[in-house]
Amino acid sequence: MFLIVGLGNPGREYAKTRHNAGFLFVEKLAQDWKLGWTTEKKFSSRVAKTERSGRKFILSQPQTFMNLSGEAVQSLAGYFRLAPQKILLVVDDADLPFGEIRLRANGSSGGHHGLESVEKHLGTRDFPRLRIGIGRRVDGVRQITNHVLGQFGNDETELLGKILTRAAEQVECWASEGIAKAMSRFNGVVNKEEKRN
């Protein structure tokens, strides 16, 4: 069984913001896999479940707000008795340029409050995380709150779709062939001109 958690903030005002790249990703995966969502209060999450090629998958959108994401992840992991290596966190990353994705088997939170919360509640950093680059403002301003909580621009929408498609392929590869193959095959920059099957 695999748990794929997209981190974000619940509520209409956050729906299409850069900080909700994780939410957007699991929504894309659920759409591709033709899944419906249910709200599971005991997990403080929206959840979608499926079985593909003999593997069980749970998709989750914690409804706790970003900084408390670990509460939802811990409850799901505990209930389904999942090893940390079977839990994939999908998050936005302002330190990666928009258009780049990076899967890692473990690592630091990099200052991402959602990852910090999950590390604290699981008591480990040894869980895979897929970072979706959202970049920083080009004017060099360090304060990025408005950028992170801003919506993707119309000029970014087409590339965002290709990024989410590449990330979905990477996750399928991770589940079927392991993290090393998924990292070597899919990590990197998604080009606007890129056409993928």
Residue 19 annotated as catalytic: yes
**2-189 has which fold?**
Rossmann fold (3.40.50)
Span 156-196, pLDDT tens digits: 888 999 999 999 999 999 999 999 999 999 999 997 665 55
Q: What percent of the chain has pLDDT over 90?
A: 73
**Mean pLDDT over residues 127-150, rounded?**
73
Residue 138 in this model has a pLDDT that exceeds 60: no
| Residue 119 pLDDT > 60 | yes
Q: What percent of the chain has pLDDT over 70?
A: 91
State the average pLDDT over residues 97-125. 92
The one catalytic residue in 19, 112, 121, 147 is 19
Average pLDDT over residues 107-118: 88
Token code pair at residue 137: 């403002």
Domain borders along the chain are 2-189
Q: Tell me if 8 sits within 8 A of 66, measured CB to CB.
A: yes
